[in-house]
């Protein structure tokens, strides 16, 4: 049985634009785009994990809003179960610490990136919800 990895992703919306980050060369799925976030630690709930991960990875503070979706994807290293939430920046400007780049994109521009497979269903839902 594949290892199950519970992760969270933040769909950060600012002025109608969505934040996307590109995985670095040292990470699994290098070069793939994703919504920022990471693994849920034992004893942690999804919202707390998202707040912690954004503080660690992008050095910014967020509030977690509406739940978007949970998707599952079987990678060679395990099954990733990704829960995504709409979020807002509270303080700080996102800065790269692990990822190779970040972009603010209109919902209609999201499909132009090479997304990690687990993130693709969320991209489609965002386009439907926000008029991509």
Can you give the pTM of this predicted structure? 0.94
Q: What is the pLDDT at residue 74?
A: 95
Statement: residue 91 has pLDDT above 80: yes
DSSP string, 45-75: -HHHHHHHHHHHHHS-EEEEEEEEEEEEEEE
Q: Where are the domains of the chain?
A: 4-130
Q: What's the mean per-residue pLDDT of the chain? A: 94
Statement: residue 29 has pLDDT above 90: no
Let me know: does 16 contact 106? Beta carbons within 8 Å.
Answer: yes
Statement: residue 48 has pLDDT above 70: yes
Give the C-alpha separation, 107 to 16, whole Å: 8
Q: What is the pLDDT at residue 132?
A: 55
* Sign of the alpha-carbon torsion through 44, 49, 51, 53: positive
Q: Nearest CA to 65 among 1, 113, 124, 129?
A: 129
Which CATH superfamily does the domain covering 4-130 fall into? Nucleoside Triphosphate Pyrophosphohydrolase (3.90.79.10)
Q: What is the pLDDT at residue 130?
A: 86
């Amino acid at each position: 049985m594949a290892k199950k990895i519970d992760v969270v992703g933040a769909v950060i919306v600012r002025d109608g634009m969505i934040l996307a980050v590109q995985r670095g060369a040292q990470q699994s799925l290098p070069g793939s785009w994703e919504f920022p976030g990471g693994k849920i630690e034992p004893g942690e709930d999804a919202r707390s994990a998202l707040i912690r991960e954004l503080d660690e990875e992008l050095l910014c503070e967020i509030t977690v809003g509406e739940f978007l979706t949970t998707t599952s994807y079987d990678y060679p290293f395990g099954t990733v179960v990704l829960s995504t939430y709409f979020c807002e920046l509270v303080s700080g400007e996102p800065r790269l610490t692990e990822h190779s780049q970040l972009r603010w994109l209109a919902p209609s521009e999201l499909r132009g990136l090479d997304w990690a497979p687990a993130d693709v269903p969320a991209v489609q839902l965002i386009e439907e919800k926000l008029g991509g």
